[in-house]
Amino acid sequence: MRTWLRVAVVTLCVCIPLTTATAQNPTPDAVRPGWALALHGGAGTIPKDMDPKLVEAYRASLRHGLELGRGILAKGGTSLDAVEAVVRFFEDDSLFNAGKGAVYTHEGTHELDAAIMNGATLACGSVAGVGTVRNPISLARLVMEKSKHVFLIAAGAEAFARAQGVPAVDNHEFDTRRRWEQWQKALHDDKFGTVGCVALDTQGHLAAATSTGGLTNKRWGRVGDVPVIGAGTYANDRSCAVSCTGQGEQFIRNTVARDVAALVEYRSLPLADAAHAVIDGKLQPGDGGLVAVSKTGEIALVFNSEGMYRGAADAGGRFEIAIWGE
């Protein structure tokens, strides 16, 4: 009996200081803003002498995407729903190289890639090389939630889409005059066209989603970083959510998204420092950039190219869009 009492006393002595310390030093969750959101519409060479009407069109689309995500998160919606909705919007906007505005392959078709990840569970879904699905990001989410797999490609991904009741569209649905002219000139896209969104919701959960049409004139079933979990897309509630855009092969080689998250998780670096360490320290100038949100609501919009279509918002009132270094 005396032994039991001694153990009880020791336990109480240990618990009281811990409780006091917690009250004096709030946890990251206690200071986290209610929600946070960041998005991008591609990075690369973006001429500053672009037609002002086109610049305004991009700004209007970025603004709308940001408002869409903000509306979901501010009402208590999940980060997964927010990132999917924002990326779906960009997929339907022909300004961007995803969905409707996807670039042409060497064969004159469109091959679409997308990925989504749930930071709360590390569940993720990816599709690559699909050509008959209007919104690849939603198919990626179905892979995550309705299959036991992570990554489906080409005909297999499309067969899965049919099994899930996703209607097929003709590949020419993704045609646009602007992309056709780029293909005819056999030029690389004037931006590393990818769209993406990352979010922290009011429950403290993170999510990331990314979608792309790849490179203009790509061949042999080329797939970039977007659907590769840890390269172009990553989310983990223990660190951050990341969506990348740029020279896909470089982002794959350097596992950019996961590297940023690892620096936050294991070295406790501030999010912006982690993003700069990877983008500036491991990639070549002009390779691209990323958007990220941490578990504490930090937002990072980092790129080493001429510009990146981007936006950020949070529960503290932040709401901004930008293209170049402004």
Beta pairing class for 36-44 and 194-200: antiparallel
Amino acid at 279: I
The pLDDT-based confidence of 115 (bands split at 50, 70, 90) is: very high
- For residues 205 and 228, is the Cβ–Cβ distance under 8 A? no
In the chain, the domains with their CATH numbers are: 35-322 (3.60.20.30)
Predicted confidence (pLDDT) at residue 74 exceeds the cutoff of 70? yes
Residue 27: what pLDDT?
A: 37
Strand partners, 38: 198, 312
Q: Which of 1-5, 55-59, 213-217, 307-311 has the lowest mean pLDDT?
A: 1-5
Between 253 and 44, the higher pLDDT residue: 253
Predicted confidence (pLDDT) at residue 6 exceeds the cutoff of 50? no
* Catalytic machinery residues: 194
Task: Provide the terminal-to-terminal Cα distance of the chain, rounded to the nearest Å.
Answer: 71
Residue 82 to residues 52, 56, 139, 316, Cα–Cα distance (Å): 30, 24, 15, 18
- Give me the residue label for tokens 């002219």: 181
Residue 45: what pLDDT?
A: 81
Phi, psi of 45 (to 5 degrees): -85, 105
